[in-house]
Amino acid sequence: MAQRATITQVAQRAGVSIASASRALNGLTSATATVEAVRAAARELGYIPDATARSLKLGRTLQLAYAVADIGNPVYVEMMAAIQEVVSGAGYRLLVTNTGDAAGTVDLVTSLQRGYADGMVLSPLRVTDELVAAVAQSPVPVVVLGRMPESAGVDTVAPDSAGGIALAVAHLHAIGARRIAFVNGPADTIPGRVRGGAFVAAAGPDAPVVSAADFTAAAGHAVAHALLSGPDRPDAVLAANDLLAIGVLHAADQLGLSTPDQLAVVGVDDTELGKLFRPALTSVDLGASERGRRAAELLLERLNDPHKKPQQVVVPAALSVRRSSDVKGEPMADDARAPHQQDQEGER
Amino acid sequence: MAQRATITQVAQRAGVSIASASRALNGLTSATATVEAVRAAARELGYIPDATARSLKLGRTLQLAYAVADIGNPVYVEMMAAIQEVVSGAGYRLLVTNTGDAAGTVDLVTSLQRGYADGMVLSPLRVTDELVAAVAQSPVPVVVLGRMPESAGVDTVAPDSAGGIALAVAHLHAIGARRIAFVNGPADTIPGRVRGGAFVAAAGPDAPVVSAADFTAAAGHAVAHALLSGPDRPDAVLAANDLLAIGVLHAADQLGLSTPDQLAVVGVDDTELGKLFRPALTSVDLGASERGRRAAELLLERLNDPHKKPQQVVVPAALSVRRSSDVKGEPMADDARAPHQQDQEGER
DNA sequence: ATGAAAGCGCTAACAC
DNA sequence: GTGTTAGCGCTTTCAT
């Protein structure tokens, strides 16, 4: 563990003042001879400028934070990977935090006042008034992944859940499904509410909807087993995410229902799991990676121009059709864009 | 975006010196009246101490870094979640970085000289002499996930790959497998080399081994299709990770081989994917979460005592037996501990 | 118990 | 082009 050299030592060794050393190192006006001497001294001493001191002086940390409720969730990981890439490309380091519950999220946003990061991408579990207030109060810009009232005055990036689910319902109708059921997650979550509402809008108020205890395969299996054993068995199921859909496939298999012939199944999120499962799962791609990328870009843009108008970006959805809903009627398009995506983004 | 208050303002408002304000806030010796006045002033101003200034003064950032080659890989994510939990519990923030290739890793370790973190958990793709040197030179402690020469003098946390693979081979023998093949990933990677070597050690030099182009299901499928179509078809396959194993299952299914009767399949890593796949995948659990936790703990311990002896921890492996290798002969134990785990950790 | 002052390492006026 | 100086916000001697 080597001892670190300071700019003072570099200056001494080069025989110049500290200011000259700083200038030479940062490429400001200085004589060629000075630059060389300083560079040499720095090299010999293995000098690397201290990030903390620099931050204190400059008023910026060159760090950005990504806060999310459950860092184990593949969708958030996908976003994180995209964010990490954009952010590091711009010379920033990425801080990752688990918010846990809703209260934790508010604390986290207020903690930004400590000034350990120049901005934050926040993926909140729920949007409370308290959270909106905290975000508005934040001393550094926050970009929210999800929707927020425009009055909050923050940049947001949201998926086009409604468009994506409409796409899935249309697809199921097209392959001849007569009775489409929706397997939702808990209705008191944001995705549960939004996706459930979108399904009703797309499939009509009479389409059957059941809610699983949480967004897991086990919960999906439990609720699907009942659904598929009961009267008026559906011939297609749209699940609120891929895990639930896998649970549905398990139940169908267990009950001896063949997929897709007797039961077509579609998920949401288009995860790796769905692609590798057999039968491969048709799924609504909500563009997690793209959302992460856009959020990071919006944050960087706002850092450059704090006064620009807040944007509400909606990332378009797509449908990846695979074996779990692929019957002869439908051509094997691997990808379809949402027709009614409401991308409200402005310039760029 | 509120303006942030400084300790100077708090001191003024409370009618005391800056030093007294600092002492009162940090719980050092000060009169009760002073404490109250300062607390009140701080509350009224919404004062929160600046992390950067504090870091500069204290010489510690309260940040730890986690560096990994591919942040999208579920195994690394599992480790990250565990690290995040330990680290944040101890009051540290977690910085996450993608190293990319091997050269990037060395740069990253040297970049620690910037002093933006108090320590690092490093999960290197390959261990080169250059990297060992960089780690040894690091101004802050580095804990390596993987093995390193003891002479490097750093704390390491490694999986017991050999023990885990021996467990899998023994299990396959126990269920009656006569001819066990190993589907490896690229042999020029660390896991490829270690796991391949462990298999040969456990199954003997005559056991068939093939190498896939990378650690993906597609690569596993390709190589397994050839393996299972050729002469001397194996009756069991151990794959170097779960993705490869899924590829093997795809190939078996495609060739009309029933699992586990005609072909038993076992993976390594015990991922969520394997648990949800049908047939559910038997897999060697290398304790990713536990490794992440131990690495973070070792880092914290070293921060507390920089002079303690470097430790080489080996986390025990276990076998999760599931349907893909579950034949009647074997009782349905869900979990078995490695008998020859070589846990070399010292105290604690 | 408290205040004055030094200083962490760096950058940016400012004057020469 | 370069040196002197101030100062980012905080903690911590050192006197008192």
Is a pLDDT exceeding 90 seen at residue B194? yes
Chain B residue numbers with beta carbons less than 8 Å from the beta carbon of A253 are 278
Contacts of A76 (CB under 8 A, 6+ apart): A68, A69, A70, A123, A288
A180-184 and B63-68 beta bridge pairing: unpaired
Calpha distance A163→A179 (Å, rounded): 20
pLDDT band at A330 (very low <50, low <70, confident <90, very high): very low
Residue A230 CB burial class (10 angstroms; 0-12, 13-18, ≥19): exposed
pLDDT for position A74: 92
Percent of chain A at pLDDT exceeding 70? 93
A198-202, A344-348, B11-15: which range is least confident on average?
A: A344-348
pLDDT for position A147: 92
pLDDT for position B274: 97
Question: What CATH homologous superfamily does B161-286+320-334 map to?
Answer: Response regulator (3.40.50.2300)
Residues with CB under 7 A from strand D: A 16-20, 23-24, 29-31, 33-34, 56-57, 59; B 6-8, 18-19, 22-23, 25-26, 28, 47, 49-50, 53-54, 56-58
Is a pLDDT exceeding 90 seen at residue B339? no
Residues paired with B336 in a beta bridge: B319
The one-letter amino acid at A313:
V
Q: How many residues comprise chain A?
A: 348
> For A28-41, what is the mean pLDDT?
94
pLDDT for position A2: 58
pLDDT band at A283 (very low <50, low <70, confident <90, very high): very high
**More confident call, A101 vs A55:** A55
pLDDT for position A329: 45
Is a pLDDT exceeding 60 seen at residue B157? yes
A32-36, A176-180, B125-129, B258-262: which range is least confident on average?
A: B125-129
pLDDT band at A328 (very low <50, low <70, confident <90, very high): low
pLDDT for position B4: 84
pLDDT band at B328 (very low <50, low <70, confident <90, very high): low
Is a pLDDT exceeding 60 seen at residue B47? yes
Is a pLDDT exceeding 70 seen at residue A347? no
Residues paired with B284 in a beta bridge: B268, B319
- What residue spans define the domains of chain A? 1-49, 50-158+289-315, 161-286+320-334
Query: In the structure encoding, which two tokens stand for residue B162, read together?
Result: 């050999």
> For A185-208, what is the mean pLDDT?
95
| Architecture of the domain whose range is B1-49 | Orthogonal Bundle (1.10)
pLDDT band at A345 (very low <50, low <70, confident <90, very high): very low
The residue whose CA lies nearest the C1' of nucleotide C3 is B17
Q: Which nucleotides of D are covered by protein (CB under 7 A)?
A: 1-5, 7-13
pLDDT by residue (tens digit) across B60-110? 999 999 999 989 889 999 999 999 999 999 999 999 999 888 788 999 999
pLDDT by residue (tens digit) across B299-315? 999 999 999 999 999 99
CATH no., domain A50-158+289-315: 3.40.50.2300
Nearest to residue B291, comparing CAs of B87, B60, B114, B79? B79
Task: Indicate the helix (H) or strand (E) that contains A314.
Answer: strand A312-315
Is a pLDDT exceeding 80 seen at residue A336? no
Q: Do B71 and A50 make contact, defined as CB atoms within 8 angstroms?
A: no
pLDDT band at B189 (very low <50, low <70, confident <90, very high): confident
* Nucleotide at minimal C1' distance from the B33 CA: C1
Q: Do A53 and B50 make contact, defined as CB atoms within 8 angstroms?
A: no
Torsion of CA B339, B345, B346, B348, to 10 degrees: -90
Q: Does B216 touch chain A (CB under 8 A)?
A: no
Q: Does A85 touch chain B (CB under 8 A)?
A: yes
In chain A, whose CA is at the least distance from the CA of B275?
A: A217
The one-letter amino acid at A279:
P
CATH topology agreement for domains B50-158+289-315 and B161-286+320-334: yes
Is a pLDDT exceeding 90 seen at residue B346? no
How close does chain B come to A220, measured CA to CA in Å? 12
